[in-house]
Structure 1
Amino acid sequence: MAKNRTGRVAEQIKKELSLLIQSELKDPRIGFVTVTGVDVTNDLSQATVYLSVFGDEESKQNSLKGLDKANGFLRTEIGKRIRLRHTPELIFKIDQSIAYGSRIEKLLSDISEEHEN
């Protein structure tokens, strides 16, 4: 039953963070950011937020810095919107799975081209 609750809390945090980053944050360092996933610990003390950032490595790092700076604001707003006893600590990480998937896709297409020739 606890797994079910953490999953629901993670999805709600993901939804609220997406809305907050899009509409409430005015930091110019934060570029085009998409929240791809949220992992919450079993005791709901920490939430790891996975982000996909459009742009080069510098824009990814700038977006992470801006989000880390706005961490307190985001946590406060999530606490207001989601009724939890303790709001989880937010940890932001860049999601590498999209880049990894595109690399695998490129390798597979290279192999199929090689096989056809």
Structure 2
Amino acid sequence: MANSRRVSKVSSLIKREVSLMLMQDIKDDRVGAGMVSITEVEVSGDLQHAKIFVSIYGSEEARAETMEGLRASQGFVRRTLGQRIRLRRSPEVLFIEDRSLEEGDRMIHLINQLEIKDPEELEAQESEEMV
């Protein structure tokens, strides 16, 4: 089992290499349907599995199409990683859609909709309710 520093280093290498592959090597038109960025890569402790979290900007249809293209290219990505990164075995690659940016944006929108009251105004309102 690899130590945490090694896992972290392999994770960042995979993120960099897959980002380059998205820009240059993956020729599937479905992957270009939405703007794709890699948000995080989680590598297992034994370096045999890599979960690649991707954020996709575009319509729901473009997102679904892009995920299909990414899943279809998993074998190519694994093989290319094996050639570019010196590991005993190439990690099995799994693409997962990351919607955390979208959820964060939704939360900010909800917070902005809240009416924030002044503490003095709250005290005055509470005293009126007691009387």
Same fold (TM over 0.5): yes
**1:59: how far off?**
1.1
AA partner of residue 24 (structure 1): D
- Hey, what does 1:44 align to over in structure 2? 47
Give 5+ residue unaligned stretches, structure 2.
118-131
- Hey, what does 2:92 align to over in structure 1? 89
- Hey, what does 2:116 align to over in structure 1? 115
- Hey, what does 2:17 align to over in structure 1? 16
The Cα offsets for residues 48-76 of structure 1, whole Å up to 9 and x where unpaired, read as 00001110111111111111111111111
Structure 1 residue corresponding to 2:61, chosen from 58, 62, 68? 58
Give 5+ residue unaligned stretches, structure 1.
none
**Cα-Cα RMSD:** 1.5
AA partner of residue 2 (structure 1): N
* Percent pairwise identity: 37
Q: What is the number of residues matched between the two proteins?
A: 115
The alignment's TM-score, normalised by the length of structure 2, stands at 0.83
Structure 2 residue corresponding to 1:35, chosen from 30, 38, 41? 38
Larger Rg: 2
The Cα offsets for residues 4-27 of structure 1, whole Å up to 9 and x where unpaired, read as 111110000000000001111111
AA partner of residue 17 (structure 2): E
**1:115: how far off?**
2.5
